[in-house]
Structure 1
Amino acid sequence: MEVKDQIQALLDSLPTKPGCYLMKDKNDKVIYVGKAVNLRSRVRSYFHNSAQHHNKTRELVRRIENIEWIVVGSELEALILEMNLIKKYRPRYNVRLKDDKRYPYIKVHWDVPFPKVTVTRQMDKDRSKDGARYFGPYTSVWAVHKTLDVLRRIFPYLTCDRDINGKDERACLYYDIKLCNAPCIGMVNQEEYRQMIQDLCDFLNGRTEPIVNRLTSEMNQASESMSYEKAAAIRDQLTAIDNVVQRQKVISDKYLDSDVIAMARSDREACLQVFFIRGGKMIGREYFLMENTDETPDADVLGEFIKQFYDQAANIPEQVLLPEEIEEANIIRQWLSSQREESKVELLIPKRGVKKDLIKMATENASETLNALQAQWEADKHRQTESLADLQEGLDLAEAPMRIECYDISNTQGTAAVGSMVVFERGIPNKAHYRRFNIRTVVGPDDFASMEEVLRRRFNRWQSAEEKATLPGKKPDASFSRLPDLVIVDGGKGQLSRAVKVLDEFDLLGKVRVAGLAKQNEEIFLHGKARGILLPRKSQGLYLLQRLRDEAHRFAITAHRKRRSKQGLASRLDAIPGIGPAKRKALLTTFGSIDKIEKASAEELVAVRGITDELAESIKAHLE
């Protein structure tokens, strides 16, 4: 194939060392990240005729305008760097975990005397920094909270913010309903509480037998010493543990801790099912989706999943069971073993017996999960198509409105007024195109004038983008450079008339349809029609308009509250003689909040640029 001169020059200068390469498009955006033992050989292979048989590779190569590389000392370093670069840039052509940024984890705050248990979406890879213990990742935050609901009934951990010293006069309600064992009033001491949290951690790791044995012994001792209330509480705890353990499938008493991974494929996505085997029992399972998998061999998809999943996993087992061999097995095994503090990690491909049956079961689960997801996606797609068709028919539009923008205004008696713009494309929210507008020109509570300002600023941005479209330079903001097919304003005829006025100013009345959605009876007012329109109550088109209106309202009121909060902070400082915008900004930048300014000493205040001794005393006097 013919290679561009600038690309050929880069190919000729590639080193023969191990490292990572980043392929970029004309906008200098990273579109592919790879690694190689020999950078020169690997990168040049993309431009050989033999590599052009796949559409995905042809499309990638056609878009490449620049190639950068990073040389490292070993193949293991290259693998780790590649994972970090894929996570950072999320390149378009890499096979990668779908929605991998915000998987939830259970976090046990082990570094404090009385550890709490919370849900987090960020795991510190260096556990030595925060001393916490993590479990996950999970795919559903709802499922995590349900798990914790069950766990808290077995291991009643703290959730309050009290300073625990065992000397409080009264416990909170959670103690009365048996969801906290009340270390605050000394019902358990620090050692006993931490043992309970250790049990919780062991339980999450599938280590239930030692917990049951110890609790059974404690129950018998309590009964023998006639502490019947304590014995009954432990009995209830053992019953709750047994109820959970009975639902866990027993695999084998001799079975090592293992993860069983299997896969099902569709045209563009792959569903990976993971069974978690701990202590001879299947303690849980999760599914994950990989995207951009078209034309990628199964073994390569599997290898990418293992790298990306275990880069985020809180725990790595002794064995990982796979349905087939993967190309980078040796280096991945080396990396996984380096992540595990105890024994080395084995990657096994079972040929017979229980392990082979587990692979088969996981494959069937992956296939069923993918089929169910595809059916759900098709149903959602059908509903979106139906809702757009309903709007086209109900509002007498020439075409279905593929891009709809909805606007709303939020303020409190005219203060901290904010306008919102939300965008739905093909019936789905495009949150990257949402925008908010702080109202600048309107004084007092005038929603009509505020709506007019917001729309004028929005279409001014469109007009500016049109004028700069042919000029070289920065790419225009896509949220403003495209015109909507339909504009919805939250309100009746009054708001609609202001929207029509603005569209007329920009000569867009014939290009952009506009409607007002009144809350009363959900009546829709269209420009050019004397009477309002009432869509059927169960119309998918009406549901879509209501979602748009509700989303615009939510976005506007969130922005308004944030702005009002900032103004409230600033107003208390503005009331202090000698504090102007510059000093106010300096104080808030230094301390971060009014509360911290209030708690600061006079010496700390004087350390802020522009604050004198007299002004520091004045600040203290006004805020106390």
Structure 2
Amino acid sequence: MTDAAENWYFERAARLRDQIKAAEQLVERQKVVSGQQQDEDLIAFAQTNGDTCVQVFFVRHGKLIGRESFVLEGAEGDETDAVLSAFLTQFYSEAAYVPPEIVLPKDLDERLIIEQWLRSRRGGEKVVLTVPQEGQQRDLLEMAAQNAAETLHALRAQWQADKNKQVIALAELGHALGLADAPGRIECYDISTLQGTSTVGAMVVFAQGTPMKSDYRKFKIRGKGSLGAGEPDDFASMREMLRRRFRRAVEPPANEGAPGQAPRKGDQMWQRLPDLVVIDGGKGQLGVAVEVLREFDLFDQVPVIGLAKRFEDVYFPERRDPLVLPRDSQALFLLQRIRDEAHRFGITFNRELRSKAGVMSELDKVPGIGPRRRKELLKRFGDLETIKQASIEELAAAPGMNVAAAEAIKDHFGD
């Protein structure tokens, strides 16, 4: 491999490097890492430039039998505790097997709660979270963290290569839509309703062809629009969401000019106009968007299109026939990706609201548990199942709770 690299045969050097790594991994998987024949998972992670990768080593009967890497979305700026806690609950809620021991790089504030939840996932058998300071477990954790860092490095190289595709897609999209420049900032809007309830709106933002999650926004739909009876609910909901978004673009922030008050970061986001608005829907939804942009005198400043669901046709304001992009078009792929991300974001928010509503409904039935205690319980334990599994002492330790209220919860749920 070294000889190939020195002679500038870089492709051959890369292939040899991959073969070496594969051979090392094969040997490593057969390595006996413990003489105690126990089952355990070891979890470590690496973070760089806002990206997070978690590496899990699976040890069964004392042998390292495999590993998995997970790149976490939306974990930028999160504390170590938050990353580990979120990963543990997400990973083991779907895992086919929960081992009796899970090895972590640091202790967690919510360790006892998570252990109790894992115990329920293991059918009542004990599960412990351990943090080794030395020995083979510590060495394996360091290896897992190194692997996570290497995975991030490789992914960043791949993402850099993908940027070339994004540049091409944006240029192609700008040309196809007749824009003066490639759209640097694209905002996409979608309405999500599950079984006719919990209607929500989703706004996702792509900057230079990649998701800008810090600017994503969720909307709880409050009303039914302004056209009166007979208007479809999704049109009215779209109108409400777009009005709330673009009103903030033209109106000054609430604290503007207040003594000693600096503009808030969120206010600056709302005032940034997109280079392109994509509406998930056809002519009807697009017409609603046009009305809202005209209402705020933004129609001549903000290009807007509708992307119809069925045939992926692109609709323009004041134009009868849609644009049909080639099926292998990078511009179409980009529009589909943005629209699908808006749909995913909206559906996720909808499910969160429905889940919280279910938890609130159950807790409302418990004597002595009012809105404040309910809020603190959800903040502390996250979901209803964890609340049910918590001990009286853990429940009573939550802000605003006491032993009597904790006992009322345990009595209500029959534990």
Q: Confirm or deny that 1:412 pairs with 2:349.
A: no
- Which residue pairs with 2:337 in the alignment? 547
TM-superposed deviation, 1:408: 1.4
* Separation in 2, partners of 1:439, 1:563: 12
Q: Confirm or deny that 1:527 pairs with 2:317.
A: yes
- Which residue pairs with 1:425 in the alignment? 207
* Separation in 1, partners of 2:138, 2:376: 47
TM-superposed deviation, 1:605: 6.7
TM-superposed deviation, 1:517: 0.7
Return closer, same or farther for 1:411/1:577 CA change in 2, 3 Å cut-off: farther
Larger radius of gyration: 1
- On the 8 A contact 1:109/1:116 being kept in 2, the answer is no
Q: TM-score w.r.t. structure 2 length?
A: 0.59
* Separation in 1, partners of 2:176, 2:395: 63
Return closer, same or farther for 1:482/1:156 CA change in 2, 3 Å cut-off: closer
Q: Confirm or deny that 1:120 pairs with 2:44.
A: yes
Q: Confirm or deny that 1:497 pairs with 2:279.
A: no
Find 2:176's aligned residue among 394, 415, 433: 394
The residue type paired with residue 97 of structure 2 is: C
* Separation in 1, partners of 2:61, 2:278: 47
- On the 8 A contact 1:411/1:560 being kept in 2, the answer is yes
- Which residue pairs with 1:464 in the alignment? 251
- On the 8 A contact 1:403/1:426 being kept in 2, the answer is yes
The residue type paired with residue 425 of structure 1 is: A
Find 1:441's aligned residue among 223, 229, 236: 223
- Which residue pairs with 2:348 in the alignment? 558
Aligned length: 306
The residue type paired with residue 499 of structure 1 is: A
Q: Confirm or deny that 1:161 pairs with 2:85.
A: no
TM-superposed deviation, 1:610: 7.6
- On the 8 A contact 2:190/2:279 being kept in 1, the answer is yes
Q: Deviations over 1:240-270 (max 9, x none)?
A: xxxxxxxxxxxxxxxxxxxxxxxxxxxxxxx
Q: Structure 2 stretches of 5 or more lacking a match?
A: 1-31, 67-94, 102-121, 123-134, 226-231
* Separation in 1, partners of 2:264, 2:192: 31
- On the 8 A contact 2:184/2:275 being kept in 1, the answer is yes
The residue type paired with residue 398 of structure 1 is: A
TM-superposed deviation, 1:537: 0.7
Return closer, same or farther for 1:466/1:385 CA change in 2, 3 Å cut-off: farther
Find 1:516's aligned residue among 291, 306, 317: 306
Q: Confirm or deny that 1:474 pairs with 2:256.
A: no
Q: Deviations over 1:556-582 (max 9, x none)?
A: 222222222222211112244664423
SS of the residue corresponding to residue 304 of structure 2 reads strand
Find 1:567's aligned residue among 357, 361, 376: 357
Q: TM-score w.r.t. structure 1 length?
A: 0.41
Q: Deviations over 1:310-338 (max 9, x none)?
A: xxxxxxxxxxxxxxxxxxxxxxxxxxxxx
The residue type paired with residue 495 of structure 1 is: Q
* Separation in 2, partners of 1:386, 1:505: 34
* Separation in 1, partners of 2:237, 2:358: 21
The sequence identity of aligned pairs, in percent, is 44
Q: Deviations over 1:110-167 (max 9, x none)?
A: 9x994623342269xxxxxxxxxxxxxxx9959x67xx58999964489832559xxx
- On the 8 A contact 1:155/1:200 being kept in 2, the answer is no
Write the mapping of 1:346-385 to structure 2, written as runs, cut at 5 A: 377=160, 380-385=162-167
Q: Deviations over 1:6-54 (max 9, x none)?
A: xxxxxxxxxxxxxxxxxxxxxxxxxxxxxxxxxxxxxxxxxxxxxxxxx
Coordinate RMSD, CA, aligned: 4.8
TM-superposed deviation, 1:466: 7.3
The residue type paired with residue 474 of structure 1 is: P
* Separation in 2, partners of 1:602, 1:152: 36
- Which residue pairs with 2:8 in the alignment? none
Return closer, same or farther for 1:287/1:381 CA change in 2, 3 Å cut-off: closer
- On the 8 A contact 1:151/1:200 being kept in 2, the answer is no
Q: Deviations over 1:361-410 (max 9, x none)?
A: xxxxxxxx9xx959x84x54443332223222322233322221111122
- On the 8 A contact 1:109/1:115 being kept in 2, the answer is no
Q: Deviations over 1:564-610 (max 9, x none)?
A: 22222111122446644234335445655433543567788788758
Q: Confirm or deny that 1:483 pairs with 2:273.
A: yes
* Separation in 2, partners of 1:597, 1:109: 37
Return closer, same or farther for 1:621/1:554 CA change in 2, 3 Å cut-off: same
SS of the residue corresponding to residue 522 of structure 1 reads coil
- Which residue pairs with 1:238 in the alignment? none
* Separation in 2, partners of 1:519, 1:155: 47
